[in-house]
Amino acid sequence: MHKDFAPDSPRADEIGFDDFLKVDIRVGEIVRAETFPEARNASYKIWIDFGPVIGEKKSAAQITVNYTLDELAGRRVMAVVNFPPRQIGPVRSEVLVLGFADKDGAIRLAQPDGDVPLGARLA
C-alpha cells in the first residue's frame, strides 16, 4: 500500500471547492471482468457502464484479493471519469476505479449506498 493511503497518513493539503468540482466521480456498473495476467501486480481488466452520456469504459484494478471475477459483474462502483487514459501494460485504462485499503492493504471498492442511476455524479 502506498504510504499516502495508509490510515495513519497525514491529511492531504487543503483544496478549494472549485478544485474538488474538477474531479468527475460517477457511478457505473461492472458489466464484465477478466483476468489480467500481463499486469505487474495481480489485477483484473474490468468494463464499466456509466450510462448513455459516458458509456462503457475499461479499467485495470488491483482488487483480486477481496473480489472474485464471478462477484464483480453487476456491482455498482464509483470511478473518476475525467483523468486522461493510462496505459497499463497492454491495457488502456480509461477510468480510475475508487476504493479503500483494508487493514491488510488490499482494496475494497467504493460504491454507492442504495439504487443510484448509472452515470450519477458525486454531489
Torsion of CA 15, 120, 33, 91, to 10 degrees: -50
For residue 71, tell me if it sits in a domain: yes
For residue 114, tell me if it sits in a domain: no
| Total structural domains within the chain | 1
What's the Cα-to-Cα distance from 38 to each of 22, 42, 78, 88, 107, rounded to whole Å? 32, 9, 25, 9, 20
- Looking at residue 2, its pLDDT comes to 57
CATH number of the domain within which 47 lies:
2.40.50.140
For residue 101, tell me if it sits in a domain: yes
Low-confidence ranges of the chain (pLDDT < 70): 1-4
For residue 122, tell me if it sits in a domain: no
For residue 59, tell me if it sits in a domain: yes
Containing domain of residue 37, as a range?
3-109
For residue 41, tell me if it sits in a domain: yes
For residue 121, tell me if it sits in a domain: no
- Looking at residue 7, its pLDDT comes to 78
Q: What pLDDT, in 10s, does the model give residues 76-105?
A: 999 999 999 999 999 999 999 999 999 999
